[in-house]
Structure 1
Amino acid sequence: MTKMDLWKLTARETADRTLAGDVSVEAVTQAAIDRMDAVNPALNAVVESLADEALERARALDRQRAAGGRLGPLFGVPVTIKVNVDQKGHATTNGVEALRNLIAPANAPVVDNLLNAGAVVIGRTNTPEFSFRADTDNPLYGRTHNPWGDHISAGGSSGGAAAAVMAGIGALGHGNDIGGSVRFPAAANGAVSIKPGLGRVPAWNPSQSAERGMLAQSMSVQGLIARAAEDLNFAMPSMAAPDPRDPFHVPLPWRGAPLDAPIKVGFTKETFEFDLHPEVSRALDIARDALVDAGYEVVEVDPPLLREAALTGYRALMGEMQALMGEDLRKYGSPTLNAIFDEYYAQFPPYEGADLLRALAERSRFAREWSLFLEGYPLVLTPFLPQPFFRPDRDAEGAEGVREALGSALWSYSMNFLGLPAVCVPARLAELSDGPVPINVQIVARRWREDLAIDAAAAIEARVGRLCDSLWARMG
């Protein structure tokens, strides 16, 4: 591998080489920046290049290594940060024109944790307005394009992060997920991502002027998007380091105790009122067979109360959004975003007043039933979406567009309401009439056992291969 090809390394491979002194952090960082300069103009995934400060940090890390200083586990790994999270001295725009000048006074915990581990931030990535679409486009920065082609949305809301990682811009992309925002773009781009469980990764934005609503606090988590499953288990312990600014963070060890083999995996193809596309069915079969061959015991199951939990959770979230953010969305959101929210409210009628309080109380019932279910099945293999990923702006095409892009994603936002960890991993590359489309599946885990879900994703990846290799061959 030449110095020009260093951008192809995984996070673990990069850290292994920089820690061993085989390659300098500056060389790795320059390679990532060169790749960004080469492919980002066509993708618009990174909306703020941090090339100069990244190279300055890289040289400082190289000097630190030469002096025998402390080297973190992510030493020299190039990463990106989503523009809805505070990074000192940079605007936390959240894709909104009115927030263009909201300069962060300090880093969010997740940024500090990555920097303390030795990572190098090379850029900040795009998100839709208010980070509340399954597609990534906004009036401030424009559209992020999927590196597989313009026939597929880049997903959202962490669309910039996923498109960047898969195109080779940084080994890791930070994202966050309140209803699917690290899993939608992973599915769109063929990346692998982790939505940690509630309490795993500390979160807070020093720039915020008020606390978020309780559902936003309990459904939103900070996660990662990567090209290789092993990078999630490699990097997430650093992301999950404690920070006193999040008083509800739970500082448990990342890896739990080994389970007796074979680990039982519940398996379902249930998509409720939505048709299961043959390509998604094939991807689920491939994932199931990969797990069986890897030594897991896979059993068909009927998970409890999934649809009810999903719809209750999303209607409650819409109620909280309408009450606490409705005025800002109307005032600062584009006509496109407001039309989409009108359709969200139509398809997910917001709970209000006592009904909202009852919905919040019901969350414990749903979570309890799933906790009991996961005692028997520590992992559950599920669809993520019932159909291949949709085209750009599908969610702006009225009722049917919102129904396909978001309404069908019951397996996504249910996991946020339940607070459970979920990994999204590619299991197939479908060659459809418009072009290639990655097909991802989801692995849900017991609370605090993200590591088990990632291990299972790695077993699927071992069968399927990393989709980035096919993508890079196509990109040239």
Structure 2
Amino acid sequence: MSAAPKNPAPLWQWSAVELSGAIRDARVSASDAVNSVVERIRAENGHLNAIVVDQTDAALEQAASYDEILKQDGPIGPLHGVPVAIKINVDQKGTANSNGVIAFKDLIAPDDAPVVRNLKKAGAIIVGRSNTPEFSFRATTVNELHGRTYNPWDDNHSPGGSSGGASSAVAAGFCPIAHGNDIGGSLRFPAYQTGTVTVKPGQGRVPAYNPSGAEERSLLAQLMSVQGIIAREVRDVRLATRVLMQPDPHDPLQVPMPFDGAAVDQPIKVAFCRETNGYKIHPAVEAALEGAAAELDKAGYIVEEASPPMIQEAAAEALPALYADCEIFIGEAIQKYGSADIKKVFDFYFENYPPTDAVGLLRTMSRRTRYLRAWNLFLEEYPLVLTPFMMRPGFTWNEDAESSAGVRDIFDSSVYSWLINFLGLPASIAPAGYHEELPLSVQIIGRRFREDLTLDAAECLERANGIQVHELWRRKGLL
């Protein structure tokens, strides 16, 4: 070692930016970093069940080899030696892509998905695979194959879904960054529930492809589903998202745009959106939104109350179209391989948002262009939109399986989650305070291809409100 570490905290608490810099400068080793999170995983994962495929032994061996590579040839890439987790619904060569389903437990990936390949190329070290609900289609994380994932903040508070294993792992200190994905909120629900941060990339930004797939993804999965990162700090989301966005020819829909967009007129205008689509917003969420608007104003943004166009029209079509898509492409598999709970949850989905028929689906996809055009024009004036993510302070771990009304309330309160997937726009989750000792967040939507602008604003809110996981650790006596 050439110098002592600058941060006295244990390495499992460090950010990916801190770790990568310290490893590159030989202030700590990759072995030090990985060993620290491995000890943390082995101490805490038995209860949390965030990492359900343990790869810590292989990670320790790989870290030692990366230390030798660093000495001889320099860093492999910007994440050299940084521990990461991979969600169990993407391909990692030689491991099962189970998607939380018992029947798929032996579906061994023949090769890496692009996101896994890009993380490896950047020098990241995989310590394990994180949990997801069956078929990755619930707002919470539990399945019959691997069991339930717990939230480090509170056992009864859902860790979110479907990337709940990723969010729990990051909040618990098992890795500074974890891979996840999002078709209707599966990065942002977990971030909201665990006080972590994320950006849902826009359509076409991150390459997606599973070599183990028997057929291509459905149409709306191709348009709505994205791969991304959950982290404790916004700077880590930025660093790892840059890595994920590296081009890959396996995804013909990926748009090879640079992460950093062109300069925009300053000061940037932010539309502060209070439109609730008929849902009665909780006072704590409203206060968090107002606080976020005030902080962005203090940071130099021009914050004006304004609502994007056609919210109600687009929202009325988005979920019926998505569930029609699901019914066609995975409905049979759910009935054949799913548990009683996942079948019940899908019954609730279909009851609340009846799938449109085939002709209706085609017409919805046609009208989607109209909605997105209207939003694009709005975003010309307001490059950023501040919205609630949920209009209520979170939900309990099994609420979506307890009643049809519970499903309805979760999804109606989160219209700005799945609507933004439907439109294919980027959106970040940023800290905005607490309610009854649990974290609250807000959402920042951006122009197409401007994840960078949403993260800039998220960092402003992070500076104002603090890193929420640090507050969790303080309460547990870890800081």
TM band (smaller chain): over 0.9
Give, in whole Å, the separation in 1 of the partners of 2:313 and 2:145: 37
Counterpart position of 1:465: 466
Q: Does 1:265 align with 2:270?
A: yes
Give, in whole Å, the separation in 2 of the partners of 1:407 and 1:290: 27
Cα distance, 1:259 vs. partner?
Answer: 1.6
Q: Does 1:137 align with 2:142?
A: yes
Give the 5 Å matches for 1:191-206.
Answer: 191-206=196-211
Give the aligned residue type for 1:15.
S
Counterpart position of 1:406: 411
Give the alignment partner of residue 74 of structure 1, picking from 69, 74, 79. 79
**Normalising by the residue count of structure 1, what TM-score does the alignment of the two structures yield?**
0.97
Give the aligned residue type for 2:295.
A
> SS in structure 2 opposite 1:106?
coil
1:306–1:411 CA contact under 8 A, matched in 2: no
Counterpart position of 1:124: 129
Give the aligned residue type for 1:37.
R
Give, in whole Å, the separation in 2 of the partners of 1:407 and 1:387: 10
Which deviates further from its counterpart, 322-331 or 127-136?
Answer: 322-331
Question: CA offsets, 1:29-58, max 9 Å, x none?
Answer: 000111111111111111011111111211
Give the aligned residue type for 1:161.
A
Cα distance, 1:70 vs. partner?
Answer: 4.8
Counterpart position of 2:394: 389
Counterpart position of 2:441: 440
Give the alignment partner of residue 334 of structure 2, picking from 317, 329, 333. 329
Cα distance, 1:284 vs. partner?
Answer: 0.6
Cα distance, 1:398 vs. partner?
Answer: 1.4
Give, in whole Å, the separation in 2 of the partners of 1:57 and 1:361: 49
Give, in whole Å, the separation in 1 of the partners of 2:274 and 2:391: 9
Cα distance, 1:310 vs. partner?
Answer: 2.4
Give the aligned residue type for 1:266.
A
Give the aligned residue type for 2:368.
R
RMSD, aligned α-carbons: 1.2
Question: CA offsets, 1:146-168, max 9 Å, x none?
Answer: 10012311110000000110111
Give the aligned residue type for 1:475.
K
Counterpart position of 1:242: 247
Cα distance, 1:269 vs. partner?
Answer: 2.2
Cα distance, 1:307 vs. partner?
Answer: 2.7
Give, in whole Å, the separation in 1 of the partners of 2:274 and 2:178: 29
Instruction: Give 5+ residue unaligned stretches, structure 1.
Output: none
Give, in whole Å, the separation in 2 of the partners of 1:60 and 1:246: 31
Give the 5 Å matches for 1:325-364.
Answer: 325-364=330-369
Q: Does 1:279 align with 2:284?
A: yes
Give, in whole Å, the separation in 1 of the partners of 2:315 and 2:228: 20
Question: CA offsets, 1:365-389, max 9 Å, x none?
Answer: 1110000000000000000001000
Cα distance, 1:252 vs. partner?
Answer: 1.1
Give, in whole Å, the separation in 2 of the partners of 1:39 and 1:413: 32
1:277–1:386 CA contact under 8 A, matched in 2: yes
**Normalising by the residue count of structure 2, what TM-score does the alignment of the two structures yield?**
0.97
Give, in whole Å, the separation in 2 of the partners of 1:262 and 1:75: 36
1:347–1:407 CA contact under 8 A, matched in 2: no
Give, in whole Å, the separation in 2 of the partners of 1:172 and 1:361: 37
Give, in whole Å, the separation in 2 of the partners of 1:77 and 1:257: 30
Q: Does 1:226 align with 2:252?
A: no
Percent of aligned pairs with the same amino acid: 49
Question: CA offsets, 1:443-472, max 9 Å, x none?
Answer: 000000000000000000000000111111
Instruction: Give 5+ residue unaligned stretches, structure 2.
Output: none
Cα distance, 1:257 vs. partner?
Answer: 1.6
1:269–1:382 CA contact under 8 A, matched in 2: yes
Cα distance, 1:4 vs. partner?
Answer: 7.7
Give, in whole Å, the separation in 2 of the partners of 1:217 and 1:287: 32
Cα distance, 1:330 vs. partner?
Answer: 0.7
2:277–2:311 CA contact under 8 A, matched in 1: no
Give the aligned residue type for 2:304.
V
2:273–2:307 CA contact under 8 A, matched in 1: yes
Give, in whole Å, the separation in 1 of the partners of 2:338 and 2:245: 32
> SS in structure 1 opposite 2:434?
strand
Q: Does 1:51 align with 2:43?
A: no
Give, in whole Å, the separation in 1 of the partners of 2:189 and 2:163: 8
1:200–1:250 CA contact under 8 A, matched in 2: yes
Cα distance, 1:406 vs. partner?
Answer: 2.1
* Alpha-carbon distance change, 292 to 211 in structure 1, aligned in 2, over 3 angstroms: same
Q: Does 1:17 align with 2:22?
A: yes
Give the aligned residue type for 1:139.
E
Give the aligned residue type for 1:390.
F
Cα distance, 1:69 vs. partner?
Answer: 4.1
2:75–2:123 CA contact under 8 A, matched in 1: no
Give the aligned residue type for 1:228.
E
Give, in whole Å, the separation in 1 of the partners of 2:413 and 2:335: 25
Which deviates further from its counterpart, 231-240 or 194-203?
Answer: 231-240
> SS in structure 1 opposite 2:148?
coil
> SS in structure 2 opposite 1:67?
helix
Cα distance, 1:237 vs. partner?
Answer: 1.2
Cα distance, 1:3 vs. partner?
Answer: 8.3
Counterpart position of 1:152: 157
Counterpart position of 2:120: 115
Question: CA offsets, 1:216-268, max 9 Å, x none?
Answer: 11100001101011112222111100111111111111001222211000001
Question: CA offsets, 1:325-344, max 9 Å, x none?
Answer: 11111111111111111110
